[in-house]
Chain A
Amino acid sequence: AQTVTQSQPEMSVQEAETVTLSCTYDTSESDYYLFWYKQPPSRQMILVIRQEAYKQQNATENRFSVNFQKAAKSFSLKISDSQLGDAAMYFCAYRSARRANSKLTFGKGITLSVRP
């Protein structure tokens, strides 16, 4: 079974600064997808960024980028130029590429606060 670990329960960043959220995972599969979701107080799960395991290039979406280290099974999220609206809970998630097992497996999440 796949597992996703987010070992930092909370982090804080100064507005306009950069912060990195850590995530590791365990799998025996070679083909899979990784995601970061943001959950603000509204509870809506919002996709931040996704990465296909077969791609060596790290995904980027505006101020958000990942550091995907497949051999180390590490998938960290970097938020640049942090904004007050980035404050939320962030979840790392794994999805197998096998159609028979396509659910998302989540980490426990990390609460990010942004200091003005």
Chain B
Amino acid sequence: GAGVSQSPSNKVTEKGKDVELRCDPISGHTALYWYRQRLGQGLEFLIYFQGNSAPDKSGLPSDRFSAERTGESVSTLTIQRTQQEDSAVYLCASSLRLGIGQNENTIYFGEGSWLTVV
């Protein structure tokens, strides 16, 4: 696609429910990233995929959070038993495999999924 696409754009869920957030990266981008942004805050790294494997999961805040990627394309971030502190915008980004070209150095973001846990 032309850009990184995320769905849903907004999600309100009850505490304790599971949610799935979807990311469709730019076509041909092998690297995919998930970030979390709480209201008025900076971006917290969650997980990074290279192809379908995740060499860096260091940012996942608890075992309630998981992510997978299939076909070197779509990724799903799953939050189980949601808590109010999970309320945030979840941003997905993608890039070409890091290389020496300028375009390969840049990470492109989607518009995010705004999650509200009530």
Footprint of B on A, CB under 8 Å?
33, 35, 37, 42-45, 47, 50, 52, 91, 95, 97, 99-109
Contacts and interface: CB of A to CB of B under 8 A. Distances in A.
Contacts, number: 55
A43 B112 contact: yes
Nearest to A33: B105
Interface residues of B, number: 26
SS of B interface (majority): strand
B56 interface: yes
Given A91-B42, A106-B35, A106-B42, 5 more contacts: A95-B107, A102-B98, A103-B45, A104-B43, A104-B93
Contacts of A107: 42
Contacts of A106: 35, 42-43
A52 B105 contact: yes
Nearest to B37: A43
